[in-house]
């Protein structure tokens, strides 16, 4: 058993601990922290189970499965928070997921990979297709916000209609992106997929029933722990002196994206930058083109209307993150300084969100 | 006779129909639609006549002619609307022309071309020079708006002075761009021009007098139909439940740019992406560096002062269109997904303009 | 003796003239102009002395010296102005230095070089690393401004804390950039350094004591002349009908960057574009990553709190300058039209700053 698996087994202990903390009322701060820690191994095993099942069901259905369940942890946390009415935290966690994937995950990968290898290369074509899709997603997120900011007095209903219309377009584009990468232009992505398989699945025949069970159990447990996390969130973060914005943009995505962090950094240190960049950029693309629109539509159905009208400052943060990540990844080369620049950008954004006043409350 | 020409001949019938609708008072909506349809074949023949005359007078003068009359339809409609005092519609049609050339025309070309050919290539150098010129034009359009938005209380006169000064710089830059592409660095553009000639002029000696007559008659008829269109615009669009902004940004440019649409898509399906991209990007560059500044100066002379202070939301739309078009065209390759991304960007912008409240009236 | 040196010797006469103008009270306008002219040769000799000492002390220490004293003139003028409480002029001169290096210096170099050579090339890798660092610096400058603009009612103290935190990150990044360019990836920069040495130091053994003396004397004289310049600035510019913003953004950087202008243009006309671009982009990077953060920290110590909350319009100007400069330099090729586009962008920005109302006073 590897050190990583042992570490995850230990983290599993936080599932009973968090439940005890909740029912024995040890305080919201302890519930919040232990539930957050308990989600980490569950997210990792959900990812592993998805990969194993993907191998069994074949590349097409498997790719679709990966594309849908790849960000399942974020999606579950967000749905629970949305149902609890924490609309602003959910919105903030969307922007935060995009930012942390592009800056923190990709930055750490390029820095730690670059400390071992003078220059690392990856296929710029995949980075570019992803970058263009990200640009579209940013435009889609930007428009309702820009409209609300430049033309005061738009009704909430109009913003909601616009957001749903935009969400439908984004989900269609996401489906077409999958068609492109898995069918019509799959050859462009070959290297990456081959590496994923070698990397994650060294054994020949995974047991589909076992892994489906693992996936089901982990999904349920993530949902339970998310309930605890979300319930305790308001009190815990205000005890820590943090705003809802900082919690949503910085803390929640670190919990939700821990699995991507681990994968991207590990493979970068093995000089597999193609895979590392595609995990980081692909995950942020999935958030923007799939998770965010699904949440808009889910919010509509749940009676917790969630539009795409972000706080202008969140949008500034997403736009600059996408621009600097595109600028650094567009040449298909990386080194430790480029990783450092991404991390520095994340640090200054983190400072800014820390100091940003909480204008609109947690809900 | 080709199907396209037959189609255009049928559309010519809308000239008498629109005149009848106007004088017999069949209602503004009918005048608006029939005048719009009547302009389509006239614009196509103006384009054809310009090309033919350009062949006779030689590359230099011909290039100049193409560069000046290439967007004659938009210019005529805009001048008529400006003279009628519809300043906001004119401004909106400038931003709309840029957006529709970069997203709708280029997107359709890349999508339909990409459905036939897995990957299409074009010279990135021409795309890049055009992109840099577009960036400058966007900066020039952005500054008066940004100034008015960030420093409240600027006099209209100051904005007008700034706009005229900027317009003069842009027209100078346009002239230098022509000098660059036709004289000092013409070799960079050789492929494109050769293709235009092969494409559009298979016959050896066009009759200059005939085509000059066609150009003159079409210009006059476009002007007449533009009068009808503009007269009926306010009532017709409000009957359709559309704002002046949506009409200017989405409807008017589709009528004005129909010829470019047809050309760019047709040649893209013949795998001549160099020509297709240069029609789309070149046309939007011409709007930004030539048509818009000419309108500013014309407005000054006509006593209908038109500054470059756009609505912030229009500017957001232009900026994101230029960024995504640059990002997609910068590598000199295209495929159906990139076309789809451009069209999706156009769709979400279209939704946004549809839902955008009409704050400032039609004038 | 070359014509350039003779010209500088003549300019030295303005040192006694400016002192006389100050003490004999010939008027602030005369003091302002003569002090500005007196700084030009001093800045040039400070640069020359730094280069000579750098040769003696070896590449590492020499590179560090160059990186620290390269913008000494700007830094001294800014410190004197900051000490006199002209915080807004200092901020404006930071944005102005970035803009003038990227647009005016690089534009003139590409235009004048491009009039001699059809196409000039330079290493895009260095341009790209610099561009990514500039993007980070722009983000850092943008965040406090965006925060203050989007969330009204932030305390001055919060902005100050955020600015100092960001300044510390930027100085760390600057140090890492030096480590990258001088140690771990020095080979990427080899061409440039070799050219600098051939260019500037044809003679074998510079006298270190002589040049240290020159550096010391020039630094002191620049400080004295800066005092005169800053003292006379308010009255002189208002006599000229100029705002503090225009003075800071356009006038002060032309004086402070004269040495870079001369070097960059001269070497561009010898077809050494690598060196020319790296002077222009490197200098603007140094301003953003070193001079600006040092001023924030110095202002804190001097009791003249200077945050990174710029006027939104200044920020718009910096962002568009960086975007157009990146877009033009990213392909490693230049021609006269690209130089013209940069100069045209500088011209329209100049017009805009000229017409921009002075909202916040000189201090």
Which tens digit of pLDDT belongs to each residue from A180-225? 888 888 877 765 444 444 445 555 677 888 888 999 999 999 989 9
CA distance C313 to B144: 10
Whether the Cβ atoms of residue B340 and residue A173 lie closer than 8 Å to each other? yes
Nearest to A262 by CA among A90, A93, A111, A109: A109
Helix/strand/coil for A152: coil
The tokens describing B363, both together, are 């004038």
Mean of pLDDT over chain C: 85
Please report whether residue A52 resides in a domain: yes
B71 contact partners, CB below 8 Å, separation of at least 6: B97, B256, B283, B286, B287, B290, B291
Which class for B228: exposed (0-12), middle (13-18), buried (19 or more C-beta within 10 A)? buried
pLDDT, residue A192, reads 47
Number of inter-chain CB pairs under 8 A, A vs B? 85
**How high is the pLDDT of residue C192?**
47
Q: How far B199 CA lies from chain A's nearest CA (Å)?
A: 30
β partners of residue C333: C121
- Under the banding of pLDDT at 50, 70 and 90, the label for residue B345 is very high
Nearest CA in chain B to C319: B139
Using the predicted structure, report yes or no on whether residue A325 has a pLDDT greater than 80: yes
| pLDDT above 70: percentage of residues in chain A | 92
Q: Is B357 on the interface with A (CB under 8 A)?
A: yes
CB-neighbour burial class of residue B153 (10 A; exposed 0-12, middle 13-18, buried 19+)? exposed
DSSP state string for A23-91 = HTT--HHHHHHHHHHHHHHHHHHHHHHHHHHHHHH-HHHHHHHHHHHTTHHHHHHHHHHHHTT-HHHHH
Nearest Cα residue to A63 out of A174, A172, A138, A219? A174
Residue B175 near chain C (CB below 8 Å): no
Q: Is the pLDDT of residue C128 over 90?
A: no
Which of B:283-322 have CB within 8 Å of A?
311-313, 316, 320
Closest CA–CA distance from residue A326 to any residue of chain B (Å):
10
Is B136's CB within 8 Å of C341's CB?
yes
More confident residue, C326 or B170: B170
B359 to chain C, closest Cα gap in Å: 22
ipTM reported for the complex surpasses 0.90: no
SS3 string, C66-121, reads: HHHHCCHHHHHHHHHHHHCCCHHHHHHHHHHHHHHHHHHHHHHHHHHHHHHCCCEE
Q: B132–C349: do the CB atoms touch at under 8 Å?
A: no
B324 closest CA partner among A323, C124, A293, A165: A323
Map residue A178 onto helix, strand or coil.
Answer: helix
**Residue in A324, A348, A357 nearest the CB of C166:** A348
Tokens representing residue B307 in the block: 């500054």
C299 domain-assigned:
yes
Average pLDDT taken over every residue of chain A = 85
Of C2, C7, C49, C42, whose CA–CA distance to C208 is shortest?
C49
Q: What is the token pair recorded at B264?
A: 């760019």
**CB contact burial C131-155 (16+ within 10 A = b; e otherwise):** bbbbbbbbbbbbbbbbbbbbbeebe
**Considering the domain boundaries, does residue B104 fall inside one?**
yes
Q: Which residue of B has its CA nearest to C339?
A: B132
Measure CB to CB from residue A169 to each of B320, B337, B347 and give the nearest one: B347
| Three-class secondary structure of residue A105 per DSSP | helix
Subunits adjacent to chain A (3 or more Cβ pairs under 8 Å)? B, C
Residue B269: exposed, middle, or buried by beta-carbon count in 10 A (0-12, 13-18, 19+)? Answer: middle
Q: Is C115 on the interface with A (CB under 8 A)?
A: no
Q: For residue C166, what are its two tokens?
A: 């960001």
In terms of Cβ atoms closer than 10 Å to its own Cβ (0-12, 13-18, 19+), residue B190 is exposed
CA distances from B51 to B4, B59, B214 (A): 17, 11, 12
A362: confidence class by pLDDT, cuts 50, 70, 90: very low
Measure B29 CA to nearest chain A CA, in Å.
Answer: 26
- Chain-chain contact of C128 with A316 (C-beta, under 8 angstroms): no
Contact (CB<8Å) B146/C316: yes
C169 and A344 in contact by Cβ < 8 A? Answer: yes
Nearest to A351 among C135, C166, C172 (CB): C166
Q: How confident is the model at residue B192 (pLDDT cuts 50, 70, 90)?
A: very low
Count how many residues are written for chain A.
Answer: 363
Binning pLDDT at 50, 70 and 90, where does residue B53 land? confident
The per-residue pLDDT for A204 is 61
Chain B: closest CA distance from residue A146 (Å)? 7
The pLDDT assigned to C247 comes to 87
Runs of H (alpha helix) within chain C? 3-12, 14-23, 28-57, 59-69, 72-83, 87-99, 106-116, 124-150, 156-179, 190-200, 208-239, 244-246, 252-256, 258-269, 273-286, 292-302, 312-329, 336-355
Cβ–Cβ of B158/C355 closer than 8 Å? yes
**Candidate from A324, A327, A356 with C-beta closest to C147:** A356
User: Which helix (DSSP H) or strand (DSSP E) does residue B342 occupy?
Assistant: helix B336-355
Query: Residue A120: what are its φ and ψ, rounded to 5°?
Result: -115, 145
Nearest CA distance, C34 vs chain A (angstrom): 42
> What is the rounded distance in angstroms from the CA atom of residue A322 to the CA atom of residue B348?
19
- Classify residue C363: in a domain, yes or no: no
Q: Do A161 and B336 touch (CB under 8 A)?
A: no
**Distant-in-sequence, close-in-space partners of B86: CB < 8 Å, separation ≥ 6:** B230, B233, B234, B244, B362, B363
pLDDT at residue B277, as a whole number: 86
C270 and C90 Cβ atoms separated by less than 8 Å: no
**Contacts B341 to A, Cβ<8 Å:** 132-133, 135-136, 173
- What φ, ψ does residue C119 adopt, rounded to 5°? -140, 130
Alpha-carbon gap: A334 to the closest alpha carbon of chain B (Å) = 19
- H helices, E strands: number in chain B: 18, 2
Nearest CA-CA partner of B105 in B343, B295, B301, B273: B343
- pLDDT attached to residue C112: 95
- What are B12's two structure tokens? 């010519």
Of the residues B130, B173, B323, the best mutation for testing chain C's interface (the one with the most C CB atoms within 10 Å of its CB) is: B173
Q: Indicate left, alpha or beta for A88 from its phi (over 0: left) and psi (-120 to 50: alpha).
A: alpha
3-state secondary structure of A334: strand
Q: Among A294, A293, A292, A290, which residue's Cα sits nearest to residue A174? A: A290
pLDDT > 70: percent of chain C: 91
Q: Which residue has the higher pLDDT, A359 or B79?
A: B79
CA distance A168 to chain B (A): 10
**B195 part of a folded domain:** yes
| pLDDT in the model for residue C172 | 94
Find chain A residues with C-beta within 8 A of B249's C-beta: none
Contact B345 A139 (CB under 8 A): yes
What sign does the dihedral C195-C200-C205-C211 (CA atoms) show? Answer: negative
pLDDT value, residue A168? 94
CB of A146 within 8 Å of a chain B CB? The answer is yes
pLDDT for the residue B202: 54
Answer whether C311 sits within 8 Å of B150, measured CB to CB: yes
A31 CB-side CA count, 13 A: 25
* CA atoms of C202 and C130, how far apart (whole Å): 28
Q: Which of B316, B335, B344 sits opposite A136 (nearest CB)?
A: B344
Report yes or no: A183 at the B interface, CB cutoff 8 Å: no
Which residues of chain B lie closer than 8 angstroms to A154, CB-CB?
Answer: 355, 357
For residues B267 and B196, give the distance between their C-alpha atoms in angstroms, rounded to a whole number: 10
Residue C245 sits at the chain B interface (C-beta within 8 Å): no
Which residues of chain C does B170 touch, with a Cβ-Cβ cutoff of 8 Å? 344
Structure tokens belonging to residue A307: 């539009």
Report the residue of chain B nearest C360, measured CA to CA: B151
Q: How far is CA B111 from its chain centroid?
A: 20
- Residues in chain A within 8 Å Cβ distance of B344: 136, 169-170, 172-173
Give C137-152 pLDDT, tens digit per residue. Answer: 888 888 888 888 777 6
Say what the pLDDT of residue B362 is: 43
Which burial class, exposed, middle or buried, applies to B10 when counting CB atoms under 10 A from its CB (0-12, 13-18, 19+)? Answer: exposed
Q: Please indicate whether, in this complex, the C-beta atoms of B161 and C331 are within 8 angstroms of each other.
A: no
Q: What is the pLDDT of residue B219?
A: 92
Interchain CB distance below 8 Å, C139 and A345 = yes
Among candidates B129, B142, B158 on the partner chain, residue whose Cβ is nearest the Cβ of C320: B142
How close C29 gets to chain B, by Cα (Å)? Answer: 27
**Angstrom distance (rounded) from CA C128 to CA A338:** 10
A28 Cα to chain C: minimum distance (Å): 29
Spell out the residues 6+ positions from residue B118 whose beta carbon is closer than 8 angstroms to its own.
Answer: A184, A185, B335
What domain range includes position C45? 3-355
Number of domains composing chain A: 1
pLDDT at C214 over 60: yes
- Please report residues of A whose CB lies closer than 8 A to that of B331: 128
What does pLDDT average to over chain B? Answer: 85
Predicted confidence at residue C257, as pLDDT, reads 79
| Helices marked H in chain A | 3-12, 14-23, 28-57, 59-69, 72-83, 87-99, 106-116, 124-150, 156-179, 190-200, 208-239, 244-246, 252-256, 258-269, 273-286, 292-302, 312-329, 336-355
Q: Is B334 on the interface with A (CB under 8 A)?
A: no
Tell me the percentage of chain A whose pLDDT exceeds 90. Answer: 36
How many of the other CB atoms lie within 10 Å of CB of C187?
8
| Residue A348 to residue C173, Cβ atoms within 8 A | no
Find, in chain C, the residue whose alpha carbon is nearest to that of A359: C151
B244-250 average pLDDT score: 88
Determine the distance in angstroms separating the CA of A110 from the nearest CA of chain B, rounded to an integer: 23
Residue A199 makes CB contacts below 8 A (sequence gap 6+) with: A267, A272, A275
Asked if C292 and C308 touch (Cβ cutoff 8 Å), the reply is yes
Cβ contact C139–A338 (<8 Å): no
Contact A169 B351 (CB under 8 A): yes
Answer whether B180 sits within 8 Å of C341, measured CB to CB: no
Band (C17; pLDDT cuts 50, 70, 90): very high
For residue C278, count CB atoms less than 10 angstroms from its CB and return exposed for 0-12, middle for 13-18, buried for 19 or more.
Answer: buried
pLDDT for residue A229: 92
Selected residue with higher pLDDT from B275 and A130: B275
For residue B172 the two structure tokens come to 């100078």
Residue A337 at interface with chain C, using a CB cutoff of 8 Å = yes
- How far is B197 from B51, CA to CA, in rounded Å? 9
Does the pLDDT at position C100 exceed 70? yes
Using CB atoms, list chains with 3+ pairs below 8 Å to chain C: A, B
In a domain, A363, yes or no: no
């Amino acid at each position: 058993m590897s050190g990583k698996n042992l570490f995850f087994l230990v983290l599993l202990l936080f599932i009973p601990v968090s439940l005890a903390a909740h029912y024995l009322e040890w305080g919201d701060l302890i519930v919040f922290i232990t539930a957050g820690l308990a989600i980490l191994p569950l997210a990792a095993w959900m990812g592993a189970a998805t990969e194993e099942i993907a191998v069994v069901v074949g590349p097409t259905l498997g790719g679709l499965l990966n594309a849908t369940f790849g960000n399942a942890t974020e999606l579950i946390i967000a749905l629970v928070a949305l149902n609890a009415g924490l609309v602003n935290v959910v919105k903030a966690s969307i922007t935060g997921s995009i930012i942390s994937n592009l800056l923190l995950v990709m930055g750490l990968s390029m820095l730690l990979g670059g400390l071992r290898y003078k220059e690392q290369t990856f296929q710029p074509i995949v980075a570019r297709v992803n970058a263009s899709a990200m640009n579209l997603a940013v435009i889609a997120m930007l428009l309702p916000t820009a409209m609300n900011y430049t033309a005061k007095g738009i009704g909430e209903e109009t913003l909601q209609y616009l957001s749903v219309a935009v969400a439908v377009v984004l989900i269609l584009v996401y489906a077409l992106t999958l068609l492109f990468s898995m069918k019509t232009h799959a050859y462009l992505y070959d290297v990456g997929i081959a590496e994923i398989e070698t990397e994650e699945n060294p054994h020949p025949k995974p047991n589909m029933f076992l892994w489906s069970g693992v996936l089901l159990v982990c999904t349920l447990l993530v949902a339970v722990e998310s309930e605890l996390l979300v319930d305790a969130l308001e009190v815990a973060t205000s005890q820590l002196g943090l705003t809802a914005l900082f919690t949503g943009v910085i803390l929640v995505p670190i919990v939700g994206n821990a699995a991507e962090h681990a994968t991207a950094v590990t493979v970068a240190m093995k000089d597999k930058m193609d895979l590392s960049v595609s995990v980081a950029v692909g995950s942020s693309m999935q958030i923007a083109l799939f998770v965010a629109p699904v949440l808009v539509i889910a919010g509509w159905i749940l009676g917790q209307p969630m539009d795409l009208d972000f706080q202008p400052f969140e949008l500034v943060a997403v736009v600059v993150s996408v621009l600097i990540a595109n600028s650094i990844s567009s040449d298909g080369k990386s080194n430790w300084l480029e990783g450092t620049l991404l991390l520095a950008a994340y640090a200054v954004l983190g400072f800014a969100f820390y100091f940003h006043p909480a204008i609109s409350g947690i809900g």
